[in-house]
Amino acid sequence: MSATLLRGRTLSFHRRPEAIDDRVAWTYEIDGAVLVENGLIVDSGDYGAVKAKAPEDAVEIDHHPHLILPGFIDTHVHFPQMQVIGSYAANLLEWLNTYTFPEECRFVESAHASRIAVHFFDEMIRHGTTTAVAYCSVHKASADAFFAEALRRDMRMVAGKVMMDRNAPQGLLDTAETGYDETRAVIEAWHGKGRNHVAITPRFAITSTPAQMSAAEALVREFPDLHVQSHLSENRDEIAFTASLYPDAIDYTDVYARYGLLGPKTLMGHCIHLSERERDAMSETGTVAVHCPTSNLFLGSGLFPWKDLMRREKPVRVSVATDIGGGSSYSMLRTLDEAYKIQQLLGERLNPFESWYWMTRGNAEALSLADRIGTLDAGTDADLVVLDMAATPAMALKAEVVSSLSDELFLLQTMGDDRAVAETYVAGRPMKAGLAT
């Protein structure tokens, strides 16, 4: 594959910005470039310096005046819920039982799962998301369809077949034994194939018996390098129901701890209503609390105490995600816009640079994958997004008075969506332009 030189304004983060003027946390080049070859970033930085290192036959693509960043990363999304988005319900448990569980039953059919997989990856690319952490359905066919499509597009994805053996329709249940066996089969078939990562995925304590939680624990012991994902403390009724199912546990977090499911590669969706003891347990194990702002607002679950979790004596690791289909947008821009508003309601501030760190390097660090994605560092995957702050007439009008990078980032976050994504590169290949409109 010949080398490609992408020219534009480039932005990449080295660490989380501590303030809006913390300029050492990021590198911004007004006339920058990213040199790509064989799916990897060879170099990035000042255009002249990078061009000097490019082969003579490198193809140059000029994206000026647009901004080039690492591709967005979504750390919690439900692949089978594309047709659940926008379903009217009073709360989480009603929404699950009325809409979500019946829809997920359809994924027993391979043809349906494959069709939705195509749409899912189209939307990821359309919105500039190059890596996502996904829940498939309980059916192995859904995981097979997901990973096959990820392999076809050469995208770095993390996903798992959901394990659930109670408190759901019969068509959506496995057993402790089949949950273990089928998860193991998915691992053997797909983990490490292309850029696929398999996650061990007990849906949440309500839908898994102690026997199935033990099966998940066995998988974690056998495959300690794999990600683990589940849900925790999203809704107060959910918390009470979990307590009734696991009366010996100290609290909701302790349910997972008893089965060895907490750790630095564990992603727990929501984590809104954690006690101080639970926060300590999350911090001590390095478990990641995944903030899902659009979903939390849509289902009325609560306001995520982001800043409190990070600045406590024992800070909790955090990431941010769309949570399709409780979430109402595939866009990480829209997601961080809602995250900003939640922090405003809590009397906190989320500055634009911090938001963009989370969409890129921050989420990569939460996944323990910052050596592969989330930056413009040499040797990492050439997964990139190109953004246009004047993508719509309203944005173009506002852009006339934008005078700083922070203003531009905030404009994109506040008014942007898939229309602001001029192009999405996956392993160095432009992918959005080829999508059907």
Coil, helix or strand for 430? strand
Does the model's pTM come out above 0.95? yes
Q: What pLDDT is attached to residue 2?
A: 83
**Torsional sign, CA 105, 133, 389, 119:** negative
Sheet holding 59-70, edge to edge: 40-46, 26-37, 4-13, 59-70, 384-387, 421-426, 429-430
Q: Would you write out the chain's pLDDT as a tens digit for each of its 437 residues? A: 689 999 999 999 999 999 999 999 999 999 999 999 999 999 999 999 999 999 999 999 999 999 999 999 999 999 999 999 988 888 888 888 899 999 999 999 999 999 999 999 999 999 999 999 999 999 999 999 999 999 999 999 999 999 999 999 999 999 999 999 999 999 999 999 999 999 999 999 999 999 999 999 999 999 999 999 999 999 999 999 999 999 999 999 999 999 999 999 999 999 999 999 999 999 999 999 999 999 999 999 999 999 999 999 999 999 999 999 999 999 999 999 999 999 999 999 999 999 999 999 999 999 999 999 999 999 999 999 999 999 999 999 999 999 999 999 999 999 999 999 999 999 999 999 888 66
Q: What pLDDT is attached to residue 1?
A: 61
Q: What pLDDT is attached to residue 93?
A: 83
Q: How far apart (Å, rounded) are the C-alpha atoms in residues 258 and 285? A: 13
Coil, helix or strand for 255? helix
Q: What pLDDT is attached to residue 437?
A: 62
DSSP-derived letter for residue 427 is T
Coil, helix or strand for 157? strand
Rg (CA), the chain: 21
Q: How far apart (Å, rounded) are the C-alpha atoms in residues 86 and 240? A: 26
Q: How far apart (Å, rounded) are the C-alpha atoms in residues 171 and 158? A: 25
Reading the block at residue 113, the tokens are 């799962």
For residue 6, which amino acid is it? L
